[in-house]
Structure 1
Amino acid sequence: MIVGIDPGQTGGIAYIDDASGSSHAMPMPVTGREIDGHELANALRGRSIRTVIIEKVHAMPKQGVSSTFKFGMGFGLVIGVCEALGISYRLVTPQAWKKVVLAGTAKDKDAAISFVRRAYPSVDLTPGRKRVPHDGMADALCLAEYGRQLMVKGAA
């Protein structure tokens, strides 16, 4: 199984079972206004995960110090959970995975949503009562797809 994680409160977690071809995505678990590390660990624990592909994020221009620190804490939490569970992971820049998975598109959130709808039509990007597709879940599935393609090429 290959897992993709778009870190952050509005991110997502996605799974592609390379043996069965099944896939699933979910929003990043949060408690209050922070990532829920316990629930994240539960989402990863007990699965036969080959690797986790985590989007390598960085501070954005004009982002406040407080929000940058909070975002970095969430990113570190995701890595810490993988480390604690002994799951191998790879950090991948948005530019790298988008170049491969979203080739020939605008490489934006809408392109990721469109890709998921075409490649993984069984995945519901509107969890709960949402009407608008969850772009964090779409990005997470694109990250997992990037990892799947690396595995196929033997590069991971």
Structure 2
Amino acid sequence: MAKIIARLSRRNVQLLISCCLAGSGAMHRFLTRANIDHYLGLLYSHDLSAHDRSVVTMLLVTEGEKLSVDLGDLEFAELRAASGRERLARSKQARDAGVFGTPEREQADRTLVNVENTQTQLEDICQRLRAGIASSRKLNSAVVRNGTRAACQARDAR
């Protein structure tokens, strides 16, 4: 157990401790985020076959759908997407630096395609969370307006 905790980052240790204190909902969130990080690590590696890459991508999408529509999960997804954008820029630079027709350039092209596909998945997760948050805010403001309207009508009826 000590070896596992030693390999966790400080942020993940804090999350793990808070999960233990908060209960199963927080543990579910921690596991979902850990799975997403693991799948991203796999997708960014160079040694996956096309079949394995598609399976891991499906797992990433499934875990992304488990993220709740709240600001904490949106922040988590946005940080991963920002990191992915930086990785995408570096992949483009590496591809552009290679001489066309060389094995290095072909590997850089494959890497770029993989990073672009992964980035698309991350951006889709962020978009779903943003849309969900916007939708819940509209719903909450409509409930508040309707509640205020009902209170005004009740007051006027008296």
What's the TM-score once normalised by structure 2's chain length? Answer: 0.24
TM-score normalised per structure 1: 0.25
Identify, as 1 or 2, the structure richer in helix: 2
**Quick check: which has more Rg, 1 or 2?**
2
